[in-house]
Each structure stands twice: as structure tokens, then as C-alpha cells.
Amino acid sequence: MKKLLIILILLLTLLLPANAANIMPANTIKVRTLGLYQLPKSITIYKEPDENSPVLNSIKWSAVDIFPEGVKFNELFTVFVPEKEFGLALVTDETDDWVQIIYNRSDNSKGWIKKDDPYKFMNWMYFFNTYGRKYGLYILKNAPEDVLNMKSAAQQDSQFIAKINMPQKIKLNALRGNWMLISVFDWDRIPKTGYIHWRADDGTIYLFPDIK
């Protein structure tokens, strides 16, 4: 009886779909983007911001599955939290009713989707102010070394304050264009506050909210 129960549990485990893993960006975001859009569970992607233009793809997703099979969670989403059914895609252009998203991050394929809710589009300032303040920040892997230099003001030639080494926590205090005022609790356990260059002039993003 015990063996039969174990076999049944194993079979159920194999048959049930596995939850998709959380997705967060690891490397710097190099494509020039406006922000992020919270994707609905069913999207139709058009070549142009017009429902009469050619359809590039139609995608449906849930916390555990995505259709069609060729679409991958980590190519569609920049941020994906399956337990919250929360997925964000990069936005490269916007009109009143449409957003152009990157729907395949492996080759930066772009297409337009009609907004199902205008408040689901978040420009970078709004996104960082909302999620960066709530969750804190982390530095993306291939950010240049000078991003770790904390300055006294939001400009490159301002006074050097300290260098970020192995941060345990990065708190966002304020945004000033491509600069942000942060407080860091580093490996040396000495609190540091200063400005860092979170985004390059070409739009490359070096830090990201540590969304849980």
C-alpha cells in the first residue's frame, strides 16, 4: 500500500506542470527603452500600431505555461514573478493607445500591442521610484567599474565619496535624470550615501529594482 502511494505521488509530480521560475535581468539593458509594460495574459503583437497591420505573434501565458511552444518566458519577459502572475516587457515606443515592446529579447524583435490599461505602462522614472524604493536595488553584472563610484552630486566631475564593494543593501533615495541618490550598506558595515550613474546617455541601464 505504501509503495502504491509513493508511485501515485511520483506520477502526479511528473504530470503536473512545473512553475516557471522568477525572471529578473542579470546583465545591463543595452537597448534604448522608455520603460516597461505589464503584459496581459493574452496579447496580439502587430507590426504597426494598427489592428489592420500584419500580426507578428499571438501569445497566451499563465503562471505555469506559455503558448505557442516556441515562445520562452525569459525571452518575452524582463521581469516575471509567476506566483503573482506579474510579467513586464521592455517598451521601446509608445502612443496614446499602443506600446511597442521587445517580445523576443534574444534578438530584440519588436512589435506593437494595444494597451489594455494605460496605467500598466511605467516609464523608467516611475518604475524605479515605485519598485526601487520598495525593494531596493542591485547592480547588473556587466556594469562598468565607474558605476560603483559614489559622488557628492549628480554629475561626473563631482567629488568622489566612496566606492561600492560588496553591497548587502542598496536603498534608492531620489532620482536626478541619469543619476540616483542611494544609501548603501556595504560589506564593511559603514553606511554610505551618494550619487551613482544608474543609466548611460545612450539609455543603457546599470541597476535594477530587486523585485521579490
Give me 56's grid cell: 507578428
pLDDT in tens, 119-172: 999 999 999 999 999 999 999 999 999 999 999 999 999 999 999 988 989 999
Gap between the Cα atoms of 29 and 142, Å rounded: 10
Strands 169-176 and 86-94: unpaired
pTM: 0.86
Calculated CA dihedral for residues 126, 120, 48, 29, nearest 10 degrees: 50
Respond yes or no on whether the N-terminal peptide bond of residue 68 is cis (omega within 30° of 0).
Answer: yes
Domains parsed from the chain with CATH numbers: 18-116 (no CATH), 135-209 (2.30.30)
Q: Of 5-14, 76-85, 109-118, 135-144, which range is least confident?
A: 5-14
